[in-house]
Structure 1
Amino acid sequence: MFPFRIALNSSTLRPFNLNVVEQLKITSEAGYEGIELWMADIMSYIENGGSTRALTEYMNDVGISFVNAIAFFRWSDRDGIQREAALHQARKEMEILADLGCPAVAAPPFGDLEGLSFRTISEYFAQLYEIGCVIGVEPYLEFWGKATHLSRISEAMLVLMESGVPNGKMLIDPFHMYTGGSSLDQLAYINGASVGIVHVNDYPDGFNRKTIMDKDRLFPGEGVLPSKKFAQLLNGIGYSGFLSLELFIEHFGDQSALEVAQYGLNQIKTAYAL
């Protein structure tokens, strides 16, 4: 049994220097249902003469759903001027995402959060969510394992609860759970409806949580993450959404982008089958 849907985060294809159209083409040919695009790549496409209408038409033609965007705005920065600029940036980028039919955008703890209480971070997230609610693009709260604040799944749960946001959702990533010291068993305390999307990857044995880097991520099933347990816990809380392959491997040898994407899809199906 495989109760999930599968997407590709375009970071996985970064070594091939593909534009967004090429990323979509590879994702479709490899057999994925959805894609996560990076806002920087979308802006590059538009700045070089592309349009949201043309990109939307292409996504429809190849049958790929744009399920979430990866963006970096300092919505939680302790500096009010930085935060105001970030919310302006978020509004602009969310409007573009809405034109592209993308329902969500990642909201990690990007910026300077030093000294902020979780109650304050929760208030800032509520402000970001309100902007997205008006535009029609939902921010998914993301925790980063190496962040000074918001590094654990329990902290993300607290921020969602304190924010007062109705049906707020988080982005889950086992790599960030590992680096931040979150236990897989903590997943059992989450309602599946509170999970917007799940990034999937693996990590090797023998790396210190503090020194391991994004580039050290592995394909699902290649490391020491108990992938079956991870999948069982997600299924147990009622999550049946997208598992999105997010890697930052710097070189793939002589493999093509299509071969890498296909291999990743097969690894997801094998590692997370129930």
Structure 2
Amino acid sequence: MFPFKLSLNASTLFPFGLGIKEQLRIAAEAGYEGFEIWIRDLEAHVTNGGSIRELKRYIADTGIVVVNAIAFFKWSDQSPEVREEGLRQAEREMSMLAELGCPAVAAPPFGEVGQVTLDEMAVNYARLAELGDQTGVVPYLEFWGRAKKLARLSEAIYVAAESGRADTRILLDPFHMHTGGSRLEGLSCLNGNRIGIVHVNDYPASSDPLLVTDEERLFPGDGAAPSSRLSELLRQIGYTGYLSLELFTQDYGDMSAVEVASHGIKKIKKAYGV
């Protein structure tokens, strides 16, 4: 039994230099139900003469669903000026995503956050969530293992609680749980509906959490990540949403883009199936 839905993050296809339409086509051809776009690829599409309306029609024709977007705005920077510009950027990008029909956007601790307290971050997230209310695009609170703040699952749970937003949803990633030292069992503090999306990947058994790089991420099941236990915990808390393959591999050898995408589906189902 496989209780989750399958998604592909555009980063997995970056070595092939594809435009956003080609990325979506490959994902649909391989059999994914969902796709995570990167805002930079959407902006490039528009800059090169494409329209969001036409892209939305193209997506509908492929039968795939755009489920989330990867963006980098400094919504909780310690500088008030930088933070305000980050929120203005977030509003612009959320508006584009709303036009496309994308329901969510990742909100990691991008920028200088070392001097920001978790309570201040909760206030900043609440402001970002208000922009989400206005645009209809939900910001998924993402923790980064190497961030100076919001590096662990426990910190994300705290920020979510203190934000006063009962609808806050957290973005999970086993790589960031590994690099930040998050306890997997902490997931038992969540309900499945408090998770926006789960990025899936793996990392080498010999990897040092302080030194392993994004480029060293592996297909699920090819490393030491506790994928089976993560799958079990996700099922226990009632999560049935998307598992999205997010790799940053620079060279897949002789594999084509569709072969990489198809291989990813097999690896996810094997690592996260019952």
TM class, shorter-length: over 0.9
Once the two structures are TM-superposed, the CA of residue 116 in structure 1 deviates from its matched residue by: 1.3
Q: Could you tell me which residue of structure 1 aligns to residue 102 of structure 2?
A: 102
Distance 1:94 1:181 in 2: 31
Residue aligned with 2:115, SS? coil
Once the two structures are TM-superposed, the CA of residue 226 in structure 1 deviates from its matched residue by: 2.1
- CA displacement, residues 253-273 of structure 1 (integer Å, 9 cap, x when unaligned): 011000000000111111100
Q: Could you tell me which residue of structure 1 aligns to residue 194 of structure 2?
A: 194
Distance 2:80 2:257 in 1: 42
Q: Could you tell me which residue of structure 2 aligns to residue 147 of structure 1?
A: 147
Alignment of 1:31-180 (within 5 A): 31-180=31-180
- CA displacement, residues 224-262 of structure 1 (integer Å, 9 cap, x when unaligned): 112111100001000000000000011000110000000
- Gaps spanning 5+ residues in structure 1: where? none
Residue aligned with 2:175, SS? helix
- CA displacement, residues 21-78 of structure 1 (integer Å, 9 cap, x when unaligned): 0000000000000000000010000000011111100110000100000000000001
TM score, norm. by length of structure 2: 0.99
Distance 1:179 1:272 in 2: 21
Q: Could you tell me which residue of structure 2 aligns to residue 21 of structure 1?
A: 21
Residue aligned with 1:210, SS? coil
Once the two structures are TM-superposed, the CA of residue 166 in structure 1 deviates from its matched residue by: 2.4
Distance 1:51 1:128 in 2: 26
The letter for the 2-side match of 1:173 is D
- CA displacement, residues 97-155 of structure 1 (integer Å, 9 cap, x when unaligned): 00111000000000111211110000000000001111100000000000010000000
Once the two structures are TM-superposed, the CA of residue 186 in structure 1 deviates from its matched residue by: 1.2
- CA displacement, residues 150-195 of structure 1 (integer Å, 9 cap, x when unaligned): 0000000000000001211010000000000012111112111110
The letter for the 1-side match of 2:57 is E
Distance 1:52 1:153 in 2: 34
Q: Could you tell me which residue of structure 2 aligns to residue 258 of structure 1?
A: 258
Distance 2:226 2:107 in 1: 27
RMSD: 0.6
Distance 1:91 1:55 in 2: 20
The letter for the 2-side match of 1:186 is G
Residue aligned with 1:230, SS? helix
Residue aligned with 1:263, SS? helix
Residue aligned with 1:144, SS? coil
> Percent identity among equivalent residues?
53
Q: Give the 4+ runs in structure 1 shifted more than 2 A.
A: none
- CA displacement, residues 184-236 of structure 1 (integer Å, 9 cap, x when unaligned): 11111211111000000011111111000000000001011121111000010
Once the two structures are TM-superposed, the CA of residue 12 in structure 1 deviates from its matched residue by: 0.2
Distance 2:167 2:24 in 1: 30
- Gaps spanning 5+ residues in structure 2: where? none
Q: Could you tell me which residue of structure 1 aligns to residue 271 of structure 2?
A: 271
Distance 1:32 1:110 in 2: 29
The letter for the 1-side match of 2:76 is S
Residue aligned with 1:69, SS? strand
Distance 2:198 2:28 in 1: 20
Q: Could you tell me which residue of structure 1 aligns to residue 237 of structure 2?
A: 237
Distance 2:57 2:124 in 1: 35
Distance 2:153 2:35 in 1: 24
Q: Could you tell me which residue of structure 2 aligns to residue 10 of structure 1?
A: 10
Kindly tell me the number of residue pairs found equivalent between the two proteins. Answer: 274
Residue aligned with 1:8, SS? strand
The letter for the 2-side match of 1:249 is T
Distance 2:109 2:248 in 1: 19
Residue aligned with 1:268, SS? helix
